[in-house]
Amino acid sequence: MNLYLPDASDPRMTGVKPLPERLRPVSRPRRLRATPAIRRMVAETRVAPAQLMLPVFVKEGISSPVEIASLPGQFQHSTESIKELATQAAEAGIGGLDLFGIPEHKDEIGSQAWDPKGILNAGISAVREAVGDDLVVCADTCLDEFTDHGHCGALTPDGRVDNDSTLPLYAAMAVSQARAGAHMVSPSGMMDGQIAVIRDALDGEGFTDVSIMAYSAKYASAFFGPFRDAVDCSLKGDRKAYQQDPSNRREGMREALLDLAEGADVVMVKPASHYLDVLADVATVSQVPVAAYQVSGEYAMLEAAAANGWIDRHRCISESLTSIVRAGADLVLTYWAIEAAQMFRKDF
């Protein structure tokens, strides 16, 4: 590359006047961008590997990992292969795993969800066997993977999700997950009052140390599409009657405040990248850690663009996660958790 500094003798500079001394910059922010070392030293936002949590899928009836077509590089795992993944995650130094179960058999109330021998509880036990307390073992506490209709709760005769009939099912599921070894449960169904009911159930069974990560501001997002492939979801229709309207910002704050009042140990905004305003709002008021879920659609879009050579994959992964933390997230659930931990480790 030929370097070129303007020179008054260059004929191409005809008509270009020298910069007057009075207009020379006094403030020069570029000084702190001059070298990679300076930029690292003064970075306002740093993403630590321990802030990252990996969503993982454990499936009944398989003996080896099955790649998820719409989530390239992500897999449905057996109870054996998920042990290997958990060990990799612990070695990478990430914070934890969030487990989702995929059963062979579903019914109208999702009864496999609280079966002690059900696939999700088996997965929890397998991960605890592999890594003990080296990772936070979190479990998704929702029924959509377990119901034959794909909704997050019990249905009324006319097909609506019945809030109050669903809450005892969540309580049973959370207790079964705690018995299987979960350090944390994560109710994601957006039922009113779910945190209070789960906290009461856990405490009543002696699981006072099991924490709750509440999916507090969870929006009825189109970006969940690949996830439904990942969990073999049976849903027909949508969840707009209980997940939030993407146009509502204040409502996200209201939901988070309700969950805090009911005893949530962590509150979450989901999705992350397209809801940074909501995330920032929640972070300003929360007295507990705030999580954000970089969902399947966010992951799939960047992977697809990178596969086509349209973007710099590593830089976009780093930038996307940094923006989420910059907006206020203390924890980020991301499918890049293990890879990103290696990328960010140099900053610590």
Copy the structure tokens of residue 76.
């449905």
228 is in an annotated binding site: yes
Provide the β-strand partners of residue 214: 267
Q: What does DSSP say about strands 96-102 and 331-333: parallel, antiparallel, or unpaired? A: unpaired
* Residue 160 known to bind ligand: no
Question: For residues 153 and 170, what is the distance between their CA atoms, to the nearest angstrom?
Answer: 9
Three-state DSSP class for residue 287: coil
Q: Are strands 266-270 and 211-218 parallel, antiparallel or unpaired?
A: parallel
165 belongs to an annotated ligand binding site: no
End-to-end CA gap in the chain: 34
Interior angle at CA 86, CA 80 and CA 89, nearest 5 = 150
Q: What amino acid positions are annotated as catalytic residues? A: 218, 270
Give bridge partners of residue 290 from the DSSP assignment.
Answer: 267
**Which residues does residue 58 pair with via DSSP β-bridges, in sequence order?**
77, 101
Task: Write the CA distances from 226 to 24, 48, 250, 296, integer angstroms.
Answer: 53, 27, 28, 6
Taking the CA atoms of 99, 105, 110 and 113 in sequence, report the sign of the dihedral they define. Answer: negative
Structure tokens at 183: 């350090």
Give DSSP secondary structure letters for 56-71: EEEETT-SS-EE-TTS
Closest to 263 in 3D by CA, of 215, 211, 218, 217: 211
Rounded Cα distance between 100 and 121, Å, is 10
**Is position 254 annotated in a ligand binding site?**
no
Q: Is 170 part of any known ligand binding site?
A: no
Helix (H) or strand (E) holding 136: strand 136-141
The tokens 């704050």 sit on which residue?
253
Alpha-carbon span 2 to 246, nearest angstrom: 50
Contact 110, 45 (CB under 8 A): no
Q: Detail the residues annotated as belonging to a binding site for Mg(2+).
A: 255
Q: Detail the residues annotated as belonging to a binding site.
A: 228, 239, 255, 296, 335
